[in-house]
Amino acid sequence: MANVAVIGAQWGDEGKGKIVDWLSERADVVVRFQGGHNAGHTLVVDNTTYKLSLLPSGIVRQGKLSIIGNGVVVDPVAFLSEIDRLRAQGVAIAPDTLRVAENCCLILPLHAELDQARERARGDAKIGTTGRGIGPAYEDKTARRAIRLCDLADPDALARKVDELLLHHNALRRGYGEPELAADQVVAPLMELAPRLLPYAEAVWQRLSELRRQGRRILFEGAQGAMLDIDHGTYPYVTSSNTVAGQAAAGAGIGPSSVGFVLGITKAYTTRVGSGPFPTELHDEIGRGLGERGHEFGTVTGRARRCGWFDAVLVRQAIKVGGIDGLALTKLDVLDGMERLKVCTAYRHHGHTLHHLPAGVTAQAGVTPVYEEMEGWSESTRGARSFADLPAAAVKYVKRLEELVEAPAALLSTSPDRQDTILMRDPFAD
């Protein structure tokens, strides 16, 4: 029986939370392997809405083990407050059902401050980050000066590491006109939180290895999307981690062959938050209509998402770089009632036809989409639970997308409710 990795095939917000929650019924363990609390996953369970940022989506289900892998950057304050918020909604969370890799790097307030100071300094050229300190935290990780969860159990090492960290950060803070920090301003809050954090810490690679030996089913939950990947996305308008399925192994401490079936999530149209190229973006009534019907506002920041037609070129690229085996198509119902639909099948750039998004920032901004038009449908697809319930034009649309992106649909989601899901191919059975 395969494990499954769920990753976004666009620019995030594809509806991964619902799909992970739906699949987690069949899994024993749900693992986050990259990103941090920049992610926003909305789950609707029995009419209750849960908003998750950092915790794995399996957390709302009883009897599942949730794991935050070493590839995640963890903000201790955000971690504890998300636990408190979910507990207030009646979700049982304890260290025996939630484990955090002891070697994961921490996001500190100085990271969020730097993230925001940089964005302010960039002005119109800003990336449009979530302002949560994700980028600066990953920079410190790569530069080998990050504070890790395990350091909270070793106050002497922590003090030394904070001194080294501040040598770097205070220089930057001076440059941005921010007040410098004394070591105790960083150490004291961490030591205060340590007794609440350390019970969750563990060598999760060991736990995962044991779970594998026992034949437990593991679900790897990606955040953001392939086009926000630090290597494969629309750089520099990307997040600071690898979001593709290959990261599931490194970011959890498990071999690549254990990742199993890779399920890519894509909306039936396209959205993006923050700045950066977006070839099929619509600046008209049609785009605004998609945003309104699709409730396209960020879970984390509340920002309005940019909306546009489905871009088959981008999704096909995400499928190739992400090793996606099958797709979950979400929000088909948002297209209900639209007379004509467009799908981008290629780009034009300086008189040439391109079948991929080029890497250069100027070229990415300069491509224009080549569209294929399709008939829409007037019937509602909302809440459909079988492929046979879909109008013929909707079936044709799904089939055409499969052809264009060169991957089969495994699931269709027809409303935020977990029951409104059409299974075409069981990812766990592969």
Contact residues for ligand IMP (CB under 6 A)? 11-13, 38-40, 127-130, 132, 134-135, 223-224, 228, 237, 239-240, 273-274
| Both tokens assigned to 201 | 């810490």
Task: Compute the distance between CA of residue 57 and CA of residue 19 in angstroms, rounded to an integer.
Answer: 9
Nearer to ligand IMP, 52 or 398 (CB): 52
Nearer to ligand IMP, 225 or 246 (CB): 225
Q: How far is the CB of 96 from ligand IMP (least distance, A)?
A: 28
Q: Residue 347: helix, strand or coil by DSSP? A: strand
Q: How far is the CB of 272 from ligand IMP (least distance, A)?
A: 7
Q: How far is the CB of 257 from ligand IMP (least distance, A)?
A: 28
Nearer to ligand IMP, 57 or 129 (CB): 129
Of the candidates 136, 129, 189, the residue with the CA atom closest to the CA atom of residue 165: 136
356 assigned to active site: no
156 assigned to active site: no
Nearer to ligand IMP, 134 or 201 (CB): 134
Nearer to ligand IMP, 114 or 186 (CB): 114
* Termini Cα distance of the chain: 7
Catalytic residue among 37, 41, 111, 232: 41
Q: How far is the CB of 93 from ligand IMP (least distance, A)?
A: 21
Count CA atoms closer than 13 A to 72's CA, side-chain side.
30
- Angle separating helix axes 76-88 and 183-197, nearest 10 degrees: 40
- Alpha helices by DSSP H, listed for 254-376, are 285-293, 312-322, 361-366
Give the count of beta carbons closer than 10 Å to the beta carbon of residue 4.
30
Of the candidates 175, 217, 192, 180, the residue with the CA atom closest to the CA atom of residue 76: 192
Residue nearest to ligand IMP (CB): 274
Task: Compute the distance between CA of residue 39 and CA of residue 17 in angstroms, rounded to an integer.
Answer: 10
Inter-residue contact 367 to 349 (CB < 8 Å): yes
Task: Compute the distance between CA of residue 79 and CA of residue 231 in angstroms, rounded to an integer.
Answer: 27
The residues carrying an active-site annotation are: 13, 41
